[in-house]
């Protein structure tokens, strides 16, 4: 029989017990990339799915499957319409202007048709960790000696980290104090099936994306389950509310208020081409509507051309004082194609504007610092509460520097149990499998400082489930795994903590055969969670 969701099977992964929707039996399909089916095949699948009437002589089980397929097809269309009218959209890569001209070339963001099941106990654990990680980032950021020492070898072989450290060193030299500190973080986790534990993938301290669109996906799923939940046996009340967009806007608004200049603006630093601009515009909209705060968007190059710092430290862009600098760019080497961008970054850091993140908060989010914090007795340097320390440690996956010869030997022998990570943000940078083995052997032969450019991490093995994914209006089923990101907002002014919250979540789901996980990078779809008691 045909299904409204064409099935792609990449590898033999056993779907987890109690996966999403008990879909019609998938027909066999050759392995293919994470992409929709060909138009002719898609139309045939959809036409068959939309016919809820069973043909004469069709068995009851098959008839039920056809009805379910018809429901799915109906859901895909309703979901696509919902995305369009609620702003769950991204720029269309097929339109060259979609990343620069708002309102041109829009498509719905890629999404899962149904929420991912997630045990309530692990959800509670992840939420409880957010304020502890927020506090940890702040404490580590104040220890300039620790940051410089921990990254001293990395900067020898990683020019990008070296340039960030150079700015940090200049701020240390003039004893620059950030009295008002704002962090908008996201800590990413996966459920490891081998150990049945929640393990941290990474901690993002700069440009934590998708608070806007991520909030909308849980609303989309709630709407779909309100309509189809009885047929599917799923309860919309089990989807947790996701206020990430409004809570990030609240943190930005409160930081703006602490700066205490009613005519000042929030500066959002953006990439020259940004197909994910609508995720950002949700924050702009909430800031204006709820706090009366104006946001201006500028690239690093524009900041360099139009910005100046007055003698009192005020950052002025286009004649307007800036209260808060919110970075949605500046986290990758590609964001600094010339010296102008680096001058802009230094200019903003020298100013009295509140930086989200400051250079020190940015450095705390590097992979190397994550690995350093996982070492014995290092957390104790920054946190006093033993219970909090234990909670953090429980979430740490195995993390090692390449100085650890035993671990490197193990990784060469069993590369599938490890991930090799460079000091980079965004999807598409990690090294796996045979490539990991080859890279380690190469680095060993070189025996230079280049070992410090990477860390080794324990590979996490989440269970896979069969999931209907929607991209470009097409639905297709595949075995998938999911990654939960928990947002955190932190604001303090000197000794006073104004905000320290868990601020919503981001669920990303990807085909289980894909090693990378970024939605913006094209590897994953947006998702939400359905809490279970298991």
Is there a binding annotation on residue 520? Answer: yes
Instruction: Please check if 429 is assigned to a binding site.
Output: yes
- Asked whether residue 20 is marked as a ligand-binding residue, the answer is no
Catalytic residue of the set 183, 425, 513, 528 = 425
Q: Phi/psi of residue 55, each to 5°? A: -70, 155
Question: Does residue 432 have a known ligand-binding role?
Answer: yes
For tokens 């410090």, the residue is 452
Q: Is 40 annotated as a binding residue?
A: no
Is 204 a catalytic site residue?
yes
Q: Catalytic pick from 20, 155, 186, 437?
A: 186
Tell me which of 135, 202, 250, 372 is the catalytic residue: 202
Any binding-site annotation on 422? yes
Identify whether 186 is a catalytic site residue: yes
Cβ atoms within 10 Å, residue 103: 11
**Nearest 5 degrees, angle CA 330-CA 333-CA 339?**
80
Does 508 qualify as catalytic in the annotation? yes
C-alpha 343 chain-centroid distance: 28
Q: Is 487 annotated as a binding residue?
A: no
Q: Is 427 annotated as a binding residue?
A: yes
97 labeled binding residue: no
Is position 275 annotated in a ligand binding site? yes
508 is in an annotated binding site: yes
**DSSP letter string over 363-411?**
HHTSHHHHHHHTSTTTGGGT---HHHHHHHHHHBPPEEETT-HHHHHHH
Closest CA to 266 of 324, 348, 180: 324
Annotated catalytic residue, options 16, 117, 345, 421: 421
- Known binder of ligand: residue 289? no
Find the catalytic residue in 426, 473, 518, 522: 426
* Residue 424 marked ligand-binding: yes
Residue 260 bears catalytic tag: no
Longest dimension (CA), the chain: 85
Annotated binding-site residue? 481: no
Choosing from 7, 209, 465, 513, which is the catalytic residue? 209
Buried b (16+ CB within 10 A) or exposed e, 176-193: bebebbbbbbbbbbbbbe
Annotation marks residue 367 as catalytic: yes
Known catalytic residue: 202?
A: yes
Query: Quick one: tokens of 248?
Result: 């990030």
Q: Give yes or no for a contact between 110 and 480, defined as CB atoms under 8 angstroms apart.
A: no
Which of the following is catalytic: 204, 215, 465, 513? Answer: 204
Is 153 annotated for ligand binding? no
Which residues does 151 contact at the CB level (< 8 Å), separation at least 6? Answer: 161, 165, 363, 366, 368, 369
For residue 477, say whether it is annotated as part of any ligand binding site.
no
Q: CA-based angle 232:238:243, to the nearest 5?
A: 125
Phi and psi at 133, nearest 5°, equal -65, -40
Three-class HEC string of 300-352: HHHHHHHEEECCCCCEEECCEEEEEEEECCCCCHHHCCCHHHHHHHHHHHHCC
Tokens 């959800």 identify what position?
Answer: 123
- Marked catalytic residue, from 155, 297, 345, 367: 367
Residue 276 in marked binding region:
yes
CA distances from 396 to 72, 371, 534 (A): 38, 9, 22
Please say if 62 is a catalytic residue: no
Which position among 250, 345, 508, 517 bears the catalytic label? Answer: 508
The verdict on whether 237 is a catalytic residue reads no
Is residue 423 part of an annotated ligand binding site?
A: yes
Report the distance separating Cα 432 and Cα 192, nearest Å: 17
Check the annotation: does 458 bind a ligand. Answer: yes
Does 202 carry a binding-site annotation? Answer: yes
Extract the annotated binding site for ATP.
Answer: 202, 367, 421-430, 432, 457-460, 483, 510, 516
Extract the annotated binding site for Mg(2+).
Answer: 202, 204, 425
Extract the annotated binding site for substrate.
Answer: 186, 206-209, 274-276, 280, 328-331, 508, 519-520
Residue numbers annotated as active site: 186, 202, 204, 209, 367, 421, 425-426, 508
């Amino acid at each position: 029989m045909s299904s409204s969701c064409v099935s792609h099977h990449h590898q033999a992964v056993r779907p987890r017990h109690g996966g999403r929707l008990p879909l019609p039996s998938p027909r066999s399909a050759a392995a293919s990339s994470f992409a929709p089916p060909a138009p002719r095949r898609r139309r045939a699948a959809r036409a068959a799915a939309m016919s809820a009437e069973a043909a004469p002589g069709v068995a009851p089980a098959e008839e039920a499957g056809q009805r379910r397929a018809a429901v799915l097809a109906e859901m895909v269309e309703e979901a696509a319409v919902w995305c369009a009218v609620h702003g769950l959209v991204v720029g269309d890569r097929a339109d060259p202007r979609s990343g620069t001209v708002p309102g041109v070339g829009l498509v719905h963001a890629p999404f899962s048709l149904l929420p991912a099941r997630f045990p309530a106990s692990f959800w509670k654990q992840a939420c409880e960790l957010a304020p502890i990680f927020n506090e940890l980032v702040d404490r580590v950021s104040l220890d300039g000696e620790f940051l410089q020492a921990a990254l001293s070898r990395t900067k020898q072989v990683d020019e990008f980290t070296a340039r960030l450290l150079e700015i940090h060193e200049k701020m240390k030299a003039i004893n620059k104090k950030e009295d008002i500190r704002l962090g908008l973080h996201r800590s990413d986790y996966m459920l490891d099936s081998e150990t049945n534990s929640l393990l941290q993938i990474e901690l993002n301290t700069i440009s934590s994306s998708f608070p806007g669109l991520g909030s909308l996906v849980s609303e989309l799923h709630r709407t779909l389950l309100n309509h189809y939940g009885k047929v599917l046996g799923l309860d919309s009340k089990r989807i947790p509310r996701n206020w990430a967009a409004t809570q990030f806007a609240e943190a930005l608004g409160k930081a703006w208020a602490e700066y205490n200049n009613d005519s000042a603006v929030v500066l959002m630093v953006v990439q020259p081409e940004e197909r994910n601009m609508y995720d950002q515009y949700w924050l702009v909209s909430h800031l204006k509507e709820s706090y009366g705060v104006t946001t201006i968007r500028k690239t690093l190059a524009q900041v360099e051309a139009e910005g100046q710092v007055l003698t009192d430290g005020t950052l002025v862009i286009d004649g307007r004082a800036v209260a808060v600098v919110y970075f949605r760019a500046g986290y990758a080497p590609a964001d600094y194609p010339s010296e102008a961008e680096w001058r802009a970054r230094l200019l903003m850091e020298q100013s009295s504007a509140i930086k989200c993140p400051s250079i020190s908060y940015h450095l705390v989010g590097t992979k190397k610092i994550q690995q350093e914090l996982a070492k014995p007795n290092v957390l104790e340097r920054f946190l006093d509460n033993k219970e909090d320390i234990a909670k953090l440690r429980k979430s740490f996956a195995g993390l090692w520097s390449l100085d650890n010869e035993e671990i490197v030997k193990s990784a060469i022998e069993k590369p599938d149990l490890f991930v090799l990570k460079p000091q980079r943000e965004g999807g598409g940078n990690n090294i796996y499998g045979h490539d990991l083995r080859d890279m380690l052997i190469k680095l060993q032969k070189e025996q230079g400082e280049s070992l410090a450019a990477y860390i080794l991490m324990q590979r996490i093995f989440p269970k896979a489930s069969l999931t209907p994914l929607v991209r470009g209006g097409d639905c297709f089923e595949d075995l998938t795994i999911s990654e939960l990101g928990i947002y955190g907002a932190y604001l303090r002014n000197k000794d006073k903590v104004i905000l320290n919250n868990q601020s919503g979540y981001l669920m990303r789901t990807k085909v289980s055969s894909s090693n990378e996980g970024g939605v913006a990078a094209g590897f994953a779809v947006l998702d939400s969670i359905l809490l279970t008691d298991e």
